[in-house]
A and B are shown apart, each in its own frame.
Chain A
Amino acid sequence: MNAQELLALADDELILGWRNSEWTGIAPFLEEDVAFSSIAQTEIGHARAWYELAAKELGTDADAVAFDRDPHEYRCAPLVEARLVPDWAQTIARHWLYETADSVRIQALMNSDDPEIAGLAGKIDREEAYHRMHADMWAERLRDEARFRTAVDELWPSALGLLEPGQRGRLCEVTGRDPVDAVERGEHTEELRPLWEEMTMVRRSIPGAAW
């Protein structure tokens, strides 16, 4: 697995974690606020772990990789870029689709020839089990809400696009959904640039500083 592929994984987790932390303090109710915040933190923690691996290959540090690239250099998928606050139905739809798709690719990575990658994937999978439980629990609870079903339908093409073509069949199997044309990774949505500007504003204000 090369640095670019690692970056795709890391960027997905960072940007999704960033989007999920937009709910901190304003989630539908307080207990859920605390739970969802942990999920966001875990995603950023996983991003950090992938960045650290990529940083070794690129000869730099995780923060530099995470924050010092230009927007067009990020490898995240369109699914994670959208700002969904204040829509909880869309948020849970994305959460559920992402966790399901992510588990497909993480479990594949657990069989990687590279022991570092296989090891990290295993650790991540153990933590992701809680994310999947949380997502499944909410998906079950919102199952009868039309807005949730609509949101899943709308995000489905992007969810497929999170995965490499070879893994998409598995995602269809697991979700019981039919394949459609995927929204492919590669071109960023117009939401990424404003996100990047806010995300990097402090860091860019004093380049090279330690924080």
Chain B
Amino acid sequence: MIFEVFRQEREGQPFQHGGSLEAPNLAFAETYARELYGRRDESFALWIVPRESVEEVLDPYVADVFDRDYRRVDGYSLKVKLKEARERAGTAGTG
């Protein structure tokens, strides 16, 4: 069986894919993962997952047909409105 190993480089960091290994079962996979990804004390923690349990998703989102700029920072344009608001309040040119 092939197992995928995810490793956390330091405490608090995201788990990242480290590699894969072959083992008869989870107990062996754990031993081997420790050795291959931990014998130099280079991982804070490991996740071991049978490859068949990992679902690959390519092209994660299919929503580029209609514009969804309300979801993005560049979808907002505040300069003009801010200038007008400051003029109304008499504070234009002071900030």
Interface of A toward B, CB cutoff 8 Å: 29, 31-32, 34-35, 38, 130, 133-134, 137, 141
Contact = CB atoms under 8 A, between A and B. Distances in A.
B31 A29 contact: no
A141 B23 contact: no
Interface string B20-49: 011110011001101110010000000000
Interface of B is mostly: helix
A202 B22 CA distance: 38
Contact of B32 (A34, A130, A133, A141): A34
Contact of A34 (B24, B27, B36): B36
Interface residues on B, range: 10 to 19
Contact of A38 (B21, B22, B23, B39): B39
Contacts of A32: 32
B39 A31 contact: no
A133 to B, nearest CB: 7
B21 to A, nearest CB: 5
B35 A38 contact: yes
A128 to B, nearest CB: 14
B39 A29 contact: no
